[in-house]
Amino acid sequence: MQMAKAGSLDTLRRPGDEEEVRLVRRIAEQDRHAFELLYRIYYRRLTRFLDRVTRRPQMIDEIVDDTMLVVWRKAATFNGASQVSTWIFAIAYKKAMKAFKRERSKAQGAFHPDEPTYAPSPETTFIEGQSHSVLRRLVAELSAEQRAVVELTYYHGCAYREIAQIVGCPVDTVKTRMFHARRKLRAVLTALEQE
């Protein structure tokens, strides 16, 4: 029954996903070469995604490695209910959120409100970047959850339903996060234009 279901889903997949499904099946059989191929396919995509979600370059390689370790260990549990990319990005997102929690617990008590924090002026932001880089900086100021939705939508071409699977929340929550992210971005861009 599951095989028929997975087979019918294969017809809905993007062209390269069939090869990725085969790689995951081979990984489930402990095929190291298949794992290396999948790792190479996803390393750049995960690095870019995690950089934009976490904004902490020092965490990225560890999260990518943790993600791919889960892929290695849990390949046999992949059931074809989603695309391979959805499955892997969901693992990466969960690992990133766990890394945030670990970092927060380590940093508790380390923040001193009297210490000055760097906040670039609107002039500096505008001069440093032109439209694309300004937008990148603005996206970086969103919450991790909002950055994930923006990143997955605009840079990875994911639909809201797929994003919901990746981040583990209802589709309406994804829509709400996108709404608030767009609203924040629009407000800041409007303020920059008026200056």
Contact (Cβ atoms closer than 8 angstroms) between residue 80 and residue 9: yes
Q: Where exactly are the structural domains of the chain?
A: 1-106, 121-195
Mean pLDDT taken over the chain? 80
- Domain covering 121-195 assigned CATH 1.10.10.10 in the classification: yes
3-class SS shares of the chain: helix, strand, coil, % to 5 = 80, 0, 20
Spatial distance between the Cα atoms of 23 and 78, rounded to a whole number of angstroms:
11
Q: Report the pLDDT value the prediction gives residue 78, as an integer from 0 to 100.
A: 95
Instruction: Supply the pLDDT for residue 113.
Output: 43
User: What's the pLDDT at 2?
Assistant: 38
Domain range 1-106, its CATH number among 3.30.430.20, 1.10.1740.10, 1.20.120.350, 1.10.268.10 = 1.10.1740.10
Tally Cβ neighbours within 10 Å of residue 165. 20
1-106 and 121-195 share one CATH topology?
no
HSE-up of residue 96 (Cα within 13 Å, Cβ side): 29
Where b means 16+ CB within 10 Å and e means fewer, 42-64 reads beebbbebbebbbeeeebbeebb
Residue-wise pLDDT tens digits, 1-34: 333 334 433 444 455 789 999 999 999 999 999 9
Q: What is the pLDDT of residues 140-189, one digit of tens each?
A: 888 999 999 988 988 888 889 999 999 999 999 999 999 988 888 888 87
Query: For position 130, what pLDDT does the model report?
Result: 54
- Mean pLDDT confidence for 26-46: 94
